[in-house]
Chain A
Amino acid sequence: EIVLTQSPGTLSLSPGERATLSCRASQSVSSNYLAWYQQKPGQAPRLLIYATSSRATGIPDRFSGSGSGTDFTLTISRLEPEDFAVYYCQQYGSSPYTFGQGTKLEIK
């Protein structure tokens, strides 16, 4: 099973700033099959990024993903108030599919 470790656990930033979230895998993720989700309180996760760097339908271009192998990054270029939430990475290169423990992005 591939273990995903996200850092930092909590990130405190202000609107307009740049956010960089990390996801590290315990072994190489096959074909860079990595996705990112955003979850707000009381809501289901929402797909942001798939295949490391492809934005899902309707996702603003301030969200971008990068990385390969075992190290992946989600970048939010300029934070909007609605971006403060919890973010999860997920690998689907091998079964069982696994998620990171999440990074909480909070308003500073």
Chain B
Amino acid sequence: QLQLQESGPGLVKPSETLSLTCTVSGGSISSSSYYWGWIRQPPGKGLEWIGSIYYSGSTYYNPSLKSRVTISVDTSKNQFSLKLNSVTAADTAVYYCARHVQSRDWFDPWGQGTLVTVSS
């Protein structure tokens, strides 16, 4: 059974870079047709897709965040990562990683999520 687990600092200072990693277990991140995405949810609010990556390194991002986001993949560790720079309090959210299939881009399964707070 495929499982995803987010990890990284729970507290980031304003203007710094948020860095998270998603570790995939129970399956290979290099499986063809699968994309790996990041979604976030501010406390008490809705969901926002951040961006996604294919095992080859091909990425696509939400234009609203594109200038600040980098998603990368490490197939040797079965992991993919998120970097969001120049963070502000508005970036405080639960960050989820999830899998989706090319051209069938619903998200399933999801990681449990990790809360990142931006505060000095």
Residues on A facing B (Cβ under 8 Å): 1, 33, 35, 37, 43-47, 50-51, 56, 88, 90, 92, 95-102
Chain B residue with minimal CB distance to A50? B106
Number of B residues with CB within 8 Å of any CB on chain A: 21
Q: With contacts A96-B62, A96-B64 known, is A102 near B107, CB below 8 A?
A: no
Q: With contacts A45-B47, A97-B49, A99-B46 known, is A90 near B107, CB below 8 A?
A: yes
Q: Once the chains are docked, how many angstroms separate the CA of A74 from the CA of B62?
A: 26
In residues 30-89 of chain B, which contact A (Cβ within 8 Å)? 45-49, 60, 62-64
Q: Once the chains are docked, how many angstroms separate the CA of A33 from the CA of B106?
A: 8
B110→A44 contact, CB < 8 A: yes
Chain B residue with minimal CB distance to A97? B49
Q: Once the chains are docked, how many angstroms separate the CA of A35 from the CA of B106?
A: 6
Q: Once the chains are docked, how many angstroms separate the CA of A44 from the CA of B113?
A: 7
User: A-facing mask of B98-111, CB < 8 A → 1, else 0?
Assistant: 00100011111111
Residues on the B chain within 8 Å of A99, using CB:
46-49
In this assembly, does B112 line the interface, its C-beta being within 8 Å of a C-beta of chain A? Answer: yes
Residues on the B chain within 8 Å of A101, using CB:
45-46
Q: Once the chains are docked, how many angstroms separate the CA of A51 from the CA of B108?
A: 13
Q: With contacts A44-B113, A95-B60 known, is A88 near B49, CB below 8 A?
A: no
Q: List 9 A-B contacts (CB under 8 A).
A: A44-B110, A44-B111, A45-B47, A51-B104, A90-B107, A92-B106, A99-B47, A99-B49, A101-B45
